[in-house]
Chains A and B, each alone.
Chain A
Amino acid sequence: MSRLRNFNLRDFGASIWARWNRPTRTLFVLAVISLVSLLPFAASWGPTSFMNTPITSFQNVLVYPVGMFVLMALGLNIVVGKSGLLDLGYIAFFAIGAYSQAILSTFFGWSTWVILPFGIGFAMISGVLLGLPALRLRGDYLAIITLGFGEIVRIVALNLEVTGGPSGIAGIPNPPGFFGVKFDIMHPQNFFWVVLILILLTIWMIRRFTVRRPGRAWEAIRQDEDVAELMGVNTLVYKLWSFVIGAAVGGAAGVIFASKVMVISPDMFKFDISIFILACVVFGGIGNIWGVVLGASVLAYLPERIRFLADSRQLVFGLVLVLMMNLRPDGLLPRKKREKITEKGSK
C-alpha cells in the first residue's frame, strides 16, 4: 500500500525518458503529437467511440472546453505553479483576448490571424497594469486583487456600449482559411488543430523558460520570496514576467475562442471559470506541465461526458474534486519531488 502511495508516475516517466537517446525521444514526441491530432476522429472510430460525448458534438467539446481549458490551465500554471502567485482572476485575460477579437473584427473587419498578436498584446498590457500594483502584495491579498480584476473586466464589458452590454457581441467572423483549410462551424476539427498548435507552442515556451534564468528565478520566488530577493533576484520584475506571459496565453486562447463561438457575452467570463481553471491546475498536479494538461483535459471533458446525469453533473463534479484532492493532494501527476535526497538518506 505504501509503495502504491509513494509511486510517482512523473519520476517513473522521467526515468524511462532519461534512458532514451535523442532520435527515440523525437520519434516518441512526434508519435504522441500525431496521436493527439487524430483525437477529433476518435468519436467516430469504433474502439474509441466510448469517448463520444452525448448531446454536444465531440469535436466541438475538444475545442471548447477541453482545448481551451488545457491552454488556459497551462497559462495559469506559469503564474500559480511556476512562481507561486495565486491568481483568482485569470479569466480576465481570456475575456480581453475574446473582446479584442470581437471588437476588432466586427468594427474594423480585421482577420483573426492579424488580431491574434494584438489580442495577446492587449492581454499582456493589462497584465502589466494589474501586475505593477498587485504584485507588490503577497499571498491572499494578491488573490483578492486578481479576483477583483476579473470581476472588473466582466462588469466593464457588461456596462460599456462598445462591448454590447449584457447581450455581448454577435456575428464575429470565423478566421479566414488558408491552404484550403476552412474554419467554420462545419469544421471544428480545424479549430482543434489550431488550439493544439498553440498548446504545443506554450508547452515549448514553458520548457524553455524553466531551464533558463526566468524559470530559476520563478522557482526561487516560489520557494521563498525573501531569500530570492536577498540572493539578488529582482522579484518584482520576474513576478511581472510570469504574470504577463500567463496573460499572453490567456489572451491567445480568448481570440481563438471568440472566433470559434462567434457570439460572446459577459456571462461567459464569470468568476467560476477562473476557479475552474485553477481547479484544473491543482487537480492535475500544480507546476507539472503534463499533470496540468491531464487535469484540464479530465476536468473539462468529464462534465460533458456525464451529461446524462443532467442536473446533478455539477454536483458529481464537486464531489469528485473533494474526493480526488483527499486521495491525491498533490494532484494526478505531481511535480518532481525535490525532497528526494532526504528520502534516500532515511533509508
Chain B
Amino acid sequence: MNFSVIGSQFWSLAFQGLALGLIYSLVSLGYTMVYGVLRLINFANSEVFMVGTFSVLYLQINILGVPIGEPALHGVKLIAYLAISLIGSMIVCALLAILVELVAYRRLRARGANRLASLISAIGVSIALLEGFSMLTGARGQIAPRLLDKWSFGEFAGANFRIDQVMAIVMPIVIFLILDQFVTKSRLGKSIRAVSMSEENSKLMGININQVITLTFCIGGLTTGAAAFLYTTVYENTVFNVGFNMGIAAFTAAVLGGIGNLRGAFYGGLALGMLEQFASAILGSQWKAITVFVVLVIILLFKPNGLFGEAVQQTRT
C-alpha cells in the first residue's frame, strides 16, 4: 500500500492511464461492435491485434527498410512512414477480421448453430493464429524500430507529455468521433444499428444482414489495427502472445462500459486504463489484475448493464 504516489504522481499516472486506456478502448471496439450485432464474443479479436502489431513491424522493417536502433526519422518521411504503417496495419487487421468472420462464424450462423459453437470455432481460429505466429517468430519477442523521436511537449505537474503518448490519446478520440458520426448518421451505420436491435426486422426492411456483419467485423478490425499501430509505437515491441492480455483487458473494458455500446467501449477503456495505472502504483503491479476485476464485479452488481449501458434493446451500438 503506497497512497503517497497519488499525491506525487497523480497527473503522470492519469496521463499514462489515459493513453493506455484509449488503446484498450480501440481494441474493445472489435469486441463491442461484433457483440452488438451478433451477440457473440469475438474471441479471435485479440489475435487480430497481435497480427496487427506484427504487420506494423513487418512493414517498417522489411518493406520500408527502417533499421532497428537507428536514429529516428524526421519531416515528411516520418509522417509518410507513420501513415503507411498505420494504414497498412488497419488494412491487414480489417482483412483478417473479415476472414475470421468467414471461417469461424458464417457457416455456423447459416446453420443456426448455438452460440457456444461459434465461440469454440472462434477460439479455434485464435489458437491457430497464435500458434502459427509463435512458430513464425520462434516464440521470441521482437523489437520495433524507432521511427518517432520521442520528444516531449513539456511537463505539467510531473506528467511528461511525450509525443507518442499524446498521439495515443488524440488518435483514438478522432477515430471515435468519426465512428460515432458514421454509426449515427450514415446509411450503413444506421443499418448496423438496425441489425443490432432486431435481426429479423432488419431483414424484413431489406437490409443485407451478411453485408452488415462483414462491415461490422471490418470496422472492428480497422480500429484494432489502429490500436496495434499505437501499441507498437508507444511500447516498441511485440510478441506472439501480446494479444492475450490486451484481449482480456479490452473485453473487460467493453463489459465495463456496457458491451454492445460504442460510447461504452470508449469510457470503459478509459476507466480501465486509469484503474490499472493507479492500482499498480498503489498496490504494486502484481495486484493490478485483481483490482480491475474486483472493481468490475462491484460495478456489475450495481449496474448490471455496465457503466454506460443503456437499457437493453435501446440505441445499441
What residues make up the interface of A, taking CB atoms closer than 8 Å to B?
80, 86, 133-134, 136-138, 140-141, 143-145, 147-149, 151-152, 155-156, 158-159, 271, 275, 278-279, 282-283, 286, 311-312, 314-315, 317-323, 325-326, 329-331
A7 to chain B, nearest CB (A): 16
B121, A325: Cβ atoms closer than 8 Å: yes
Residue of B nearest to A142 (CB): B300
**B293 touches which of A152, A314, A315 (Cβ 8 Å):** A152
A325, B108: Cβ atoms closer than 8 Å: yes
A residues in contact with B41, CB < 8 Å: 140, 143
11 extra A-B contacts, CB within 8 A, seeds A315-B132, A318-B130: A136-B304, A140-B35, A145-B300, A148-B296, A151-B290, A278-B116, A311-B135, A312-B131, A312-B135, A318-B129, A329-B108
Among B143-151, B228-236, B247-255, B271-279, the stretch that binds chain A is B247-255
B residues in contact with A159, CB < 8 Å: 286-287
Of B41, B128, B259, B294, chain A has the most CB atoms within 10 Å of the CB of B128
Verify if B125 is at the interface (C-beta below 8 Å from A). yes
Q: Given A156-B290, A325-B121, A326-B121, are A137 and B127 also a contact pair (CB < 8 Å)?
A: no
Verify if B126 is at the interface (C-beta below 8 Å from A). yes
Instruction: Give CA–CA (A282, B192) in the complex, Å.
Output: 30
Instruction: Give CA–CA (A136, B114) in the complex, Å.
Output: 23
B120, A326: Cβ atoms closer than 8 Å: no
Instruction: Give CA–CA (A312, B120) in the complex, Å.
Output: 19
Give chain A's interface secondary structure class.
helix
Instruction: Give CA–CA (A159, B300) in the complex, Å.
Output: 26
- Chain B contact-residue range equals 35 or more
Of B103, B123, B127, B294, chain A has the most CB atoms within 10 Å of the CB of B127
A318, B124: Cβ atoms closer than 8 Å: yes
Instruction: Give CA–CA (A283, B123) in the complex, Å.
Output: 12
**B128 touches which of A151, A279, A319 (Cβ 8 Å):** A319
Closest 3 CB pairs of A and B: A321-B124, A329-B113, A318-B128
**B252 touches which of A133, A148, A330 (Cβ 8 Å):** A148
Residue of A nearest to B305 (CB): A141
Instruction: Give CA–CA (A222, B42) in the complex, Å.
Output: 22
Instruction: Give CA–CA (A270, B291) in the complex, Å.
Output: 18
Q: Given A144-B252, A325-B108, are A282 and B124 also a contact pair (CB < 8 Å)?
A: no
Residue of B nearest to A279 (CB): B120
Residue of A nearest to B293 (CB): A148
Question: Which parts of B97-142 form the interface with A (CB within 8 Å)?
Answer: 103-104, 107-108, 111, 113-114, 116-121, 123-132, 134-135
Cβ contacts A to B, 11 pairs, < 8 Å: A133-B301, A145-B293, A158-B286, A159-B286, A311-B134, A317-B127, A321-B123, A321-B124, A323-B124, A325-B113, A326-B107
Give chain B's interface secondary structure class.
helix
B61 to chain A, nearest CB (A): 24
Residue of A nearest to B125 (CB): A322
A318, B116: Cβ atoms closer than 8 Å: no
Residue of B nearest to A144 (CB): B255
Residue of A nearest to B109 (CB): A329
A residues in contact with B117, CB < 8 Å: 282, 325, 329-331
A134, B124: Cβ atoms closer than 8 Å: no
Instruction: Give CA–CA (A136, B298) in the complex, Å.
Output: 12
A282, B120: Cβ atoms closer than 8 Å: yes
B248, A147: Cβ atoms closer than 8 Å: yes
B296, A330: Cβ atoms closer than 8 Å: no
B131, A329: Cβ atoms closer than 8 Å: no
A195 to chain B, nearest CB (A): 25
B252 to chain A, nearest CB (A): 6
B114, A330: Cβ atoms closer than 8 Å: yes
A282, B116: Cβ atoms closer than 8 Å: yes
A51 to chain B, nearest CB (A): 24
A140, B255: Cβ atoms closer than 8 Å: yes
B residues in contact with A315, CB < 8 Å: 127-128, 131-132, 135
Instruction: Give CA–CA (A331, B103) in the complex, Å.
Output: 17
Of B116, B123, B244, chain A has the most CB atoms within 10 Å of the CB of B116
B120, A321: Cβ atoms closer than 8 Å: yes
Verify if B6 is at the interface (C-beta below 8 Å from A). no
B115 to chain A, nearest CB (A): 9
Of A136, A144, A323, chain B has the most CB atoms within 10 Å of the CB of A144
A151, B297: Cβ atoms closer than 8 Å: no
A residues in contact with B108, CB < 8 Å: 325-326, 329
Verify if B83 is at the interface (C-beta below 8 Å from A). no
B301, A283: Cβ atoms closer than 8 Å: no
